[in-house]
Chain A
């Protein structure tokens, strides 16, 4: 079957580092996306991993292990504006993205 798991909620303080984990089980896996969604807004693309390893993009990094069915999104130097939902999505070849339920991150000062 298809399944994407990520924590429902996380909290952190400004300036800290937070890691949001995602595990997946899909057939025909062909890559892992992370999206950010602020309350009441559309999801926006953050990162895409298809090969094992770490992809760094400024304060955000994303990691993938295909053999373990595992990914994480690492956010450094947290800012208040990083308070949002973070959506993990696995791409199945020939179909569409399968989304997790999202992790709501609250950043406090």
Chain B
């Protein structure tokens, strides 16, 4: 079974803090993704990566950065958290970029920025 894990289920941070969200997958997948999910807006892609040290902007990259130093790990960084970044953050991975593959999701991190 594919397993995608995220470092925290719940996180509370203060405005201006630097926040790190970690995601790890154990199936040697090439692709990894970060989404945020908000009521009425659905899942929106922040960044994705199709290889180590590679990253691509998604639909809403502003205020976020990412890091992929190892194949199994993809980190989402909020350089200076703001209240409008309060959301559910979901990480996903898929096997390869060369053809269509199912994305497998982690359990999500519910972030509250005060």
Q: Hey, which bits of chain A sit against chain B, CB under 8 A?
A: 30-31, 33, 40-45, 48, 50, 87, 89, 91, 94-102
**B41 on the A face (CB < 8 A):** yes
A99 to chain B, nearest CB (A): 4
**In the complex, which residues of chain B have a beta carbon less than 8 angstroms from the beta carbon of A94?**
97
- What's the count of A-B pairs with C-beta under 8 Å? 46
**B21 on the A face (CB < 8 A):** no
Interface residues of B in 62-89 (CB under 8 A from A): none
B105 touches A42 (CB 8 A): yes
Per-residue CB contact flags for chain B residues 27-62 toward chain A (1 = under 8 Å, else 0) read 000000101000011111100100000001010000
11 contacts between A and B (CB under 8 A): A31-B100, A41-B107, A42-B90, A43-B43, A43-B105, A48-B100, A50-B100, A96-B58, A99-B44, A101-B41, A102-B43
